[in-house]
């Protein structure tokens, strides 16, 4: 049992929205904090492409304009960062991973999302299919700001936000689960905020 | 579905505050007795969990300010007005109080004395905290690596660890350069104004010296400094960043 912190009251009476939407250990913020391990990359759109490769019969690649031509979805979701903040009702526009992965033939069960700036994160296919993940290029009705992962970022709102990789450029399908950047540095290999899977062993 | 096997579990542990140090008007260091501390690397942080009498809990992350070689773990907390946790840690908690935490957390923004190349530490405000752990680690291990600190604060009174930084600078151990952005004492010989592209061009080692660069501070500070370093020719993979936003606390 946790010791009582003498004199600590907490801010729980703050209007934190619907408490059923805030996972354990999280607090709601209206800001949009930035967490990145290195400098923000600035890839010009005419050099941008998105590629699906790895354990696929034939890899596929889109340039920026082609990517914008793919069937897009508008979603409003809550996001949860492992550093404890949650942001409710964020709106995004992008291409669902169902749409993207329909274009390749694979028997792989995992993927590594890779990005400008050398960031990676690993995900199980079951976590990104069935309307669970998007590659988003619009946020709150405008382009995704570079600090927040633009021109395009992964959006996997049901997992901690480090899996929503910024500056995404592709997906590599893998037969086995291969740890990504933060997963290598001790963060949980799944990252379900409702189970508070922050670090290894949680 | 089989997932990659991972060892270890980062459990919560109890510590006791044995001392507090007022670093500035806003920042306070907590010196902790942690019987089960597993050790850490310079640059890592911990999660703190506070528990109210009715069981309500709040968690936040704080950088470790002490070196792995120090006897006690030290956290330095900057008070964010209106914050939920930081004002408790800076204004309420006292020596003798218990504190629950887990860590160390984060393995990327770390520096180890075995690493080569000059070490360039760039911080704004309380971004100095994890860099001070690196500085102390360097001082304890004494590797043949040059160190330079570029630190930005509003005024001289806002410089966290001011005496320690000045002492190291005075003994020529470390090249400490402080930039004050709001007000300067009479005769101030340091930089006046922000750490910007021009300043970094002169103050950072050129890329051919292959400096290892750590940048920590508020988001806008880190974005500006890291972007300027890249524009000045530093290789992005040599720049590690840690940003903290306007929220938290």
- Give the ipTM: 0.91
pLDDT digits (tens, 9 = 90+) for A43-97: 999 999 999 999 999 999 999 999 999 999 999 999 999 999 999 999 999 999 9
The pTM for the full model equals 0.93
Which pLDDT score is estimated for B249? 38
Which pLDDT score is estimated for B244? 83
Q: How confident is the model at residue A158 (pLDDT cuts 50, 70, 90)?
A: very high
- Give the residues of chain B that fall short of pLDDT 50: 1-6, 247-249
Q: Within a 10 A sphere around the Cβ of B144, how many other Cβ atoms?
A: 6
B47, B56, B105: residue with CB nearest A10: B56
Q: How confident is the model at residue A14 (pLDDT cuts 50, 70, 90)?
A: low
Residue whose tokens read 């994160």 = A121
B51, B107, B230: residue with CB nearest A185: B107
**Secondary structure E strands in B80-161:** 98-105, 119-124, 147-153
The answer to whether the Cβ–Cβ distance between A178 and B1 falls below 8 Å is: no
Alpha carbon of B116 to those of B119, B145, B239: distances in Å?
8, 7, 14
d(CA B182, CA B193): 7
Provide CB contacts within 8 A for B14, sequence distance 6+: A3, B98, B99, B100
Which of A3, A5, A112, A187 is the best mutation test for B, with the most CBs of B within 10 A? A5
Among B146, B153, B134, CA closest to B217: B153
d(CA A84, CA A64): 33
Report residue B188 as tokens.
């101030």
Which pLDDT score is estimated for A33? 85
Is the CB of residue B17 less than 8 Å from the CB of residue B31? yes
Number of H helices, E strands in chain B: 5, 12
Per cent of chain A over pLDDT 70 is 97
Residue of A nearest to B59 (CA): A25
Helix, coil or strand: residue B6: coil
Which pLDDT score is estimated for B5? 43
Which pLDDT score is estimated for B6? 46
d(CA B178, CA B161): 12
Which of B207, B218, B236 is the best mutation test for A, with the most CBs of A within 10 A? B236
């Amino acid at each position: 049992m946790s010791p009582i912190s003498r004199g600590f009251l907490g801010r729980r009476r703050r209007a934190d929205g619907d408490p059923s939407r805030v996972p354990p250990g999280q607090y709601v913020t209206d800001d949009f904090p930035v967490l990145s391990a290195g400098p923000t990359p600035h890839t010009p759109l005419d050099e941008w492409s998105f590629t699906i490769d790895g354990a696929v019969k034939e890899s596929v690649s889109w340039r920026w304009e082609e990517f914008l031509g793919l069937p897009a979805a508008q979603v409003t979701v809550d996001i949860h960062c492992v550093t404890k903040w949650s942001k409710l009702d964020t709106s995004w526009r992008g291409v669902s991973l169902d749409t993207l992965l329909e274009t390749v033939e694979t028997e792989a069960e995992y993927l590594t999302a890779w990005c400008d700036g050398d960031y990676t994160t690993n995900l199980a296919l079951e976590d990104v299919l069935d309307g669970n993940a998007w590659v988003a290029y619009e946020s709150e009705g405008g382009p995704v700001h570079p600090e927040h992962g633009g021109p395009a970022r992964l959006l996997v709102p049901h997992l901690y936000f480090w899996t929503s990789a910024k500056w995404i450029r592709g997906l590599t399908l893998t037969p086995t689960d291969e740890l990504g950047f933060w997963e290598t540095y001790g963060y949980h290999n799944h990252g379900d905020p409702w189970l508070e899977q922050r670090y290894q062993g949680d | 579905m089989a997932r990659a096997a991972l060892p270890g579990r980062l459990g919560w542990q109890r510590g006791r505050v044995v001392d507090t140090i007022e670093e500035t008007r806003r920042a306070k260091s907590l010196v902790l007795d942690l019987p089960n501390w597993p050790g850490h690397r310079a640059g890592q942080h911990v999660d703190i969990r506070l528990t109210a009498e009715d069981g309500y809990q709040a968690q936040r992350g704080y950088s470790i300010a002490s070196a792995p070689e120090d006897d006690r773990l030290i956290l330095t907390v900057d008070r964010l007005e209106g914050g939920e946790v930081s004002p408790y840690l800076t204004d309420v908690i006292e020596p003798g109080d218990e504190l629950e935490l887990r860590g160390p957390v984060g393995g990327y923004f770390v520096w180890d004395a075995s690493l080569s190349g000059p070490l360039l530490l760039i911080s704004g405000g309380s971004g100095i905290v994890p860099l001070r752990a690196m500085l102390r680690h360097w001082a304890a291990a004494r590797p043949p690596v040059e160190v330079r600190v570029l630190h930005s604060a509003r005024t001289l009174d806002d410089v966290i660890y001011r005496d320690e930084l000045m002492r190291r600078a005075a003994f020529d151990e470390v090249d400490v350069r402080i930039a004050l952005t709001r007000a300067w004492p009479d005769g101030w010989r340091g930089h006046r104004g922000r750490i910007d592209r021009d300043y970094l061009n002169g103050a950072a080692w050129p890329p051919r010296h292959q400096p290892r660069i750590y940048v920590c501070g508020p988001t806008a500070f880190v974005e500006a400094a890291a972007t300027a370093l890249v524009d000045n020719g530093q290789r992005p993979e040599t720049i590690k960043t840690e940003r903290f936003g306007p929220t938290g606390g």
